[in-house]
Amino acid sequence: MKLQTLNDHNSFSEGIQLIAFLCWSLWKARNGFVFSAFTETPIDTWMKAQCAFSEFSALNEQKSTPPSVPLTASEQWIPPGPGFVKVNVDASVDLVRRKASAAVIFRDEEVRFLGGTSASFIPSSIAAAEAYAVRLGTCAAIEAGFSKVIVESDNAGVISRINSKTLSAWESAAIEGDILGISAPFLNFFFSAVKRACNKAADWVANVVRKGRCPDNWQSVLPHSLRLLL
pLDDT value of position 1: 36
Same structural domain, 107 and 190: yes
Does residue 129 form part of some domain? yes
Asked whether the beta carbons of 121 and 113 are under 8 A apart, the reply is: no
Same structural domain, 220 and 171: yes
pLDDT value of position 70: 52
Does residue 2 form part of some domain? no
Does residue 77 form part of some domain? yes
Distance CA 47, CA 200 (A): 28
pLDDT value of position 73: 53
Same structural domain, 36 and 118: no
Same structural domain, 80 and 16: no
Distance CA 125, CA 102 (A): 13
Residue after which a domain boundary falls, among 46, 63, 80: 63
Residues in the chain, pLDDT under 70: 1-15, 32-37, 43-44, 46-74
Expressed as residue numbers, the domain containing 44 is 9-63
Distance CA 143, CA 159 (A): 21
Does residue 4 form part of some domain? no
Planar angle of CA 74, 136, 71, nearest 5 degrees: 20
Same structural domain, 48 and 84: no
Same structural domain, 170 and 142: yes
Same structural domain, 44 and 96: no
pLDDT value of position 66: 42
